[in-house]
Each structure stands twice: as structure tokens, then as C-alpha cells.
Amino acid sequence: MSKQLNVALIGNPNTGKTSVFNQLTGLKQQVGNYPGITVEKKEGICKLPRGVKAHILDLPGTYSLNASSLDENVVIELLLNKNDKDYPDVAVVVSDVENLKRNLLLFTQIKDLHIPTILVINMADRMKRKAISLDIEKLEERLETKIALVSSRKNTGFDKLKELISNYKTLSIEPCVNASVIAPDYFNRLRKAFPKQDLYKLWLVITQDVNFGKLDRNEMQSINTFQTESKSNLKRLQQKETIVRYQFINGVLKETLSIDHLAAKDLRSRLDRVLTHKVWGYLIFFAILLLIFQAIYDWSSYPMDLIDEAFAAMGEWVRTTMPAGAFTNLIAEGIIPGLGGIVIFIPQIAFLFLFISLLEESGYMSRVVFLMDRIMRRFGLSGKSVVPLVSGTACAIPAIMATRNIENWKERLITILVTPFTTCSARLPVYLIIISLVIPDERVLYIFNLQSLVLMLLYLIGFGTAILSAWLLDRILKIKSRTFFVIEMPNYKLPLFKNVAYNVIEKTKSFILGAGKIILAISIVLWVLASNGPGDQFTNAEENAIARMDSGAFPQEELDKHIAAEKLEYSYIGYMGKAIEPVVRPLGYDWKIGIAIVSSFAAREVFVGTLATIYSVGSDEEETIKNRMAGEVNPILGGPLFNLASGISLLLFYAFAMQCMSTLAIVKRETNTWKWPVLQLVIMSGFAYVVALVAYQLLI
């Protein structure tokens, strides 16, 4: 009894597997109206009637058991490997009532593997609107299965589904279509050669091009000798198999399903006429992008100011109410400003996630893929690369994972390599603070805010560089792979508020927590380094400053500032900064910015927090991060340290440099070699340095 009950959710992309999964397990995995949202296995536990617990597996969508992209492969590998710890005791095939015919193809294939199978017909809430009626009993009989008609949105039908799962032992494991009818002789020979093996499984192994990691190698070898049929012959047989299956499905559905086609003609075609139009389609797409930037810049500035002030006040409060000492200083000067440097960006990041989530949930994303495919192909990318590039504006990590549904390896690799150029939300804090310091807050053409235009320009630079480097890579990389491209265009759906809200909250939370941990650690380390120093220079900083300035001539306030500056200069961090300084000086930065840049190689968003910590060690008053930065003076040239030249140079540096450990780790995982992440790190950062250098030297 120790073995748990394994349940796998399998089905075509976008049929609502993850929605069903969330309903069964109470988890909140990401749901979206775009085929290919889920790209890896996700696990959860579901309580069944009579105290049984089931281990539920959410899988990427696949159209059939013949994989043509990496995410689909996950499913096939699982189903062909009986020794896998997740090998399902029962397969739950999730289908969409509006696409039942196509969804049943996969169902009949899985039945052929002799796995106990339940059919879930999801989206029951849409049946009325589309005038669909189903004869469930007859369907169950013809398909030799049990059916649960559910709606994940309305949460109906799940009790029956749980009941069916817990009674899985009573399910029939007879196939409903037998693949062997397509070539009886061939299949007979197979059966004789491998009497112990499942026939359909053998057939799948023979016909797949893909590599089956965990399948027994020896077994594979002997099967290979069976590949006497030529490739095109095999494909002909596969076509025949598909036809046979559809014949069966058509026959079944004719008896059990009726759709009023007039009622089905609807919103979709009207919306598509505009949204995928040759001219309007593109205009609308760009208008949406513009709206997003406006929202990020203009609308979120109010909550941001509030947060900024709140953190400044909090630091001040800690300083005045807690007993003075090193610990208070650590909190007031190290941790609070460091965290404030990231919390302040919650409104923007939430806005960004909100828009991306809305684009995905409405079904619009596939239309963008359609509109952009031709253009992207010019640059060696696929229309499907648009999704990583757009969601890369939130974070490169999920974006790189989202490339898994690109069928062509070369297009996929190029997409992975260029995605980090898109302006991710971690760059946003850096951009925003620098823009607000060096770009005047004016209106151009009465409506556009100059600062938000510059921000938009930076996003465009990110996209532009991504696309140009894709073009270069397309020429350089010598990888032969046949292109093909099929994308499903899902129905438009009114985004479900709950899904969108979960999405925004979960993602913002994980962004803040992820960044928060790094920032907390770094700001503590920085604070320790900044408030201690080696040797007499540091300990005597106070006397030295007073002596040098010929006291009395200056007000106390001025004097304090100089003492603090002197201390910082001779602290550990000061020495380290000085060592870096020669490298960053030509770009117009001082050693403090140098430290901030180095620490942001862990993660970009650390930049603002680092500066905030360093600066607050050097001052005593309650001040916002921005005011502190504005007050910094260039030690050599005089004048504000953050001026147009150094500001632009910094912006460009952050636009191009590869400063994210987690992205590098993901690229390594997705490409299976260190070669690509290392190249990314070296080339992107080198390029960033050169561009920043040129920009500063030209502007100064």
C-alpha cells in the first residue's frame, strides 16, 4: 500500500490541463490562453474520496504521441518508460469540448498503450454558448472509457472526476483503435520479435526521431534493426494511422456530438478580422506596447513616491528610536535602504506582469505570433520567438523556458541567446532612477512624457539589439535544421480575473523575494565593508578630516559630511572601489558606481540597493535614494556625478551587459553546455563596456 497513486494529466495544448490541475490540487500553477504555457512537469497532491491521496502530474500539452518539440517530448518520455517513478497508474486525458475531434486523436493513442484512461471534457461552461450537445453515455461506451464533463472555471464536475480516479481499477484498458491495422504484416513481425513488449509502444519508439533518455538502450538497439522501412515509408504509415484514428473519431462523434455551426460563428472571426489585419493588426500591437510603457512610467510613479518616502521615514524611525549602536546602524543604513531599493519597484513590475498576463489570457499572444512570424524569420527567429521576447520584459528566465515550444533547434537556440537583451524587469529600477536623475521631466508633443519616451527607447534598443544579434547569429551559426511552423490560434477568452491576479501576485512576490534575498545578503556585506576599514586612515578619519579642514570655518553639518566621506573612502569597500576605479573611470563613473556594477553581476536589481546602502553609510539625514544620488558630486570634474553623459553611459551599459547569474544557469540547462552562457557573458558584457565608453566620451 506504500506505493502512491500516480495520475498524469495529458492533453492537447491549451485544453485546460493546468486549470484542472489547480482545481484538483489547490495549487496555483500558471494558466494562460496560449498553447505552450506549461513546459515542464509539475506535481501536486489531491485528496480523493475515502482518504486516498493521489499524486497528480501536470504535463506540457502535446498534439499526439509523436513529439516535434522539446516540451512535447516530456510526455512521451514519461509514457514510454514504465520504470519512471512518475509513470501513471491512470492517465487523465483533458480535452476541450470545442475541439473534441482533434483532442480525441491523442486519447486513442494513449488508449493504445493499455494505460487506464479517463477522459475529461473541459470547458463545459462554453457548451451553451456554442450550442454544443453531447451524449456522454454513448461516448463512454464507444470510447471504452469513463468521462467527466467539467468546467475548471465554474468548478463543476470535479467530484465525479475524483470518484473516477479513485476507481481507476475498474477502467477498461482495451484500445479503441488498433494501430496494427495500418500494416498487419509489419506489426505481426514486430509482435513475434518482441512478444513481451507493448506493440504500440514499439511502434512509437521506431517512428520517433527523438532521443529517449531513460529508455533501455539495448531494447532500442534491437528495435533499430526493425527500421527496415524507409523514412518516408514510415511517415506514410503514420499518416495512415492518423487517418484511421480520425475515421474512428468521426464515426463516434457523428453519433454523440452535435454543434450548431451558426451559433459557433462568433466574436472570434470579427475580432480576428481586425486584430490580425495587415495594417490594423500591427497598429494595434504597437499601440498596446505604447500603452504598457505609459502605464509603467506614468501611472506607477505615485505609489512609487509613497514607497520611497515610507522607507526613508522607516530608516529615520529606526535610527531615532532604537538604541544607538552597530546593530541599529546595520538596519538603518544597510538593510532598510537596500530593501527599499527593490520594494519601490513593485508597482511597475506588477503592471508589467499584469499586461503580459492579460495578453496571454485573452488569446492575443498567438495573434502576435502570427503577425510577427514573417518579420522574425528574416532575422533567423520564429514567430514563436515573440513570446519569449515579450515575456522577457518581465524576466529572462521564464522567457528562456518558453522557447521550448519552438520546433526548430536553430531558431530556438538563437532565441535563447538573444532573449537576455530584452529589457527585463530587473533593469527597470536602474533605468528609472537614472532617467529621473538625468532626463528632464518635460512633455513632448503635449502627451508624451520625455522620460517615458526615453524609457521606451531603451526597450526598443533592447529589442533592436536582440533582433540584430539574431540576424548575425543566423549568418554565423552553421546548423542545419528544416524549418516548419504550426501554431494553433486559440479562441479569444475574457481573461479570468482570478487567474490574472494570481499570476501578478505570484510573480511579483517571487521577483521580490528572489531579489530580496540577494539584496539583503549583499547589503549586509556591503554595510560591514563600508563601516569598517583597515589601518589608521579609517580609525583616524575624523581627526584627519577636522585637521585638514581647519575647523570652525565650516558649519558642523558640512564637517560631518566630510568626516563620513573620509571614513567611507578608507573603509574596505573604499579600497576595493579604488581598485576598480581605473576600469570604470573612462565610462564616467566613480568607485561607488563601480562597486554597484560589480555587485549587480549577481543580479541587476542590486544596483540601486547597493548605491543606497553605500550612500546612506555616508550620510545621517533622512533622505530618499533619489535625493542622495542627485547630491553626489563627481570627484574629479566637479558637478553632479549623475549627469547626461555618465547617465546615458550607465543606461547603455545596463542595456547590454549580461548581469544575471540565474539566466546564465538557465541557459546552461536549456542548451546543455557551458559554451553558450559563457559566450553570452563575455560578448554581451564586453559589448556593453565598449558602447558605454563610446557614449560617455562622445557626450562629455
Binding site as annotated, residues for Mg(2+): 22, 25-26
What's the gap between Cα 664 and its chain centre?
14
Looking at the Cβ atoms of 66 and 616, the one nearer to ligand GTP is 66
- Should residue 493 be labelled a site residue for ligand GTP when binding is judged by CB under 6 A? yes
Element of type H or E holding 550: none
Site string for other proteins, 367-406 (x = CB under 8 A): --xxx-xx--------x-----------------------
- Nine-digit cell string for 385: 520567438
Contact 629, 437 (CB under 8 A): yes
State the binding string over 348-377 for ligand GTP (x if CB under 6 A, else -).
Answer: -------------x----------------
77, 125, 285, 507: which is closest to 57 by C-alpha?
Answer: 77
Number of neighbouring beta carbons within 10 Å of residue 631:
14
30 is a contact residue toward other proteins (CB under 8 A): no
Task: Tell me the CA end-to-end span of the chain in Å, nearest whole number.
Answer: 75
30, 41, 68, 167: which one binds other proteins (CB under 8 A): 68
From the list 7-15, 250-258, 663-671, 682-690, the region that binds ligand GTP by CB under 6 A is 7-15
Q: Is 238 exposed, middle or buried (0-12, 13-18, 19+ CB in 10 A)?
A: middle
Q: Which of residues 296-325 bind ligand GTP (CB under 6 A)?
A: none
Q: Does 485 bind other proteins (CB under 8 A)?
A: yes
CA 203 to centroid of chain Cα atoms? 36
> Which one, 446 or 484, has the nearer CB to other proteins?
484
User: Minimum distance between the CB of residue 264 and other proteins, rounded to whole angstroms?
Assistant: 9
Which of other proteins, ligand GTP, Mg ion, none binds 577 (CB below 5-8 Å, type-dependent)? none
Residue closer to Mg ion, measured from CB, 35 or 347 = 35
Q: Among residues 210, 208, 684, 679, which one has the least CA distance to residue 409?
A: 210
Question: Taking CB under 6 A as the rule, does residue 515 contact ligand GTP?
Answer: no
| Cα separation, 409 vs 381, whole angstroms | 10
Number of residues that bind other proteins (CB under 8 A): 40
Segment near ligand GTP (CB under 6 A), from 12-20, 422-430, 543-551, 624-632? 12-20
Q: Which stretch binds other proteins (CB under 8 A): 196-204, 274-282, 504-512, 550-558?
A: 274-282
Smallest distance from the beta carbon of 37 to other proteins, in angstroms? 17
Residue 125 found at the interface with other proteins (CB under 8 A): no
Burial 471-510 (b: 16+ CB within 10 A, else e): bebbeeeeeeeeeeeebeebbbeebeeebbebbbeebbee
User: What cell was used for 332?
Assistant: 538603518
Query: CA 431 to CA 419: how far, in whole Å?
Result: 18
Does residue 15 belong to the site contacting ligand GTP (CB under 6 A)? yes
187 and 244 Cβ atoms separated by less than 8 Å:
no
Give the interface segment with ligand GTP, choosing from 6-14, 195-203, 469-477, 625-633 (CB under 6 A): 6-14
Report the candidate in 655, 685, 690 with the shortest Cα–Cα distance to residue 457. 655
- Binder among 28, 101, 126, 668 for other proteins (CB under 8 A): 101
Complex with Mg ion: residue 107 or 203, whichever CB lies closer: 107
Question: In 3D, which of 283, 287, 466, 277 has the Cα closest to residue 370?
Answer: 277
Quote the longest CA-to-CA distance of the chain. Answer: 106
Interface residues toward other proteins, by CB under 8 A: 63-64, 66, 68, 99, 101-102, 105, 232, 235-236, 238-239, 242-243, 246, 268-269, 272-273, 276-278, 366, 369-371, 373-374, 383, 407, 483-491
Interface residues toward ligand GTP, by CB under 6 A: 11, 13-19, 31-33, 35-38, 60-61, 122-123, 125-126, 151-153, 361, 493, 496, 499
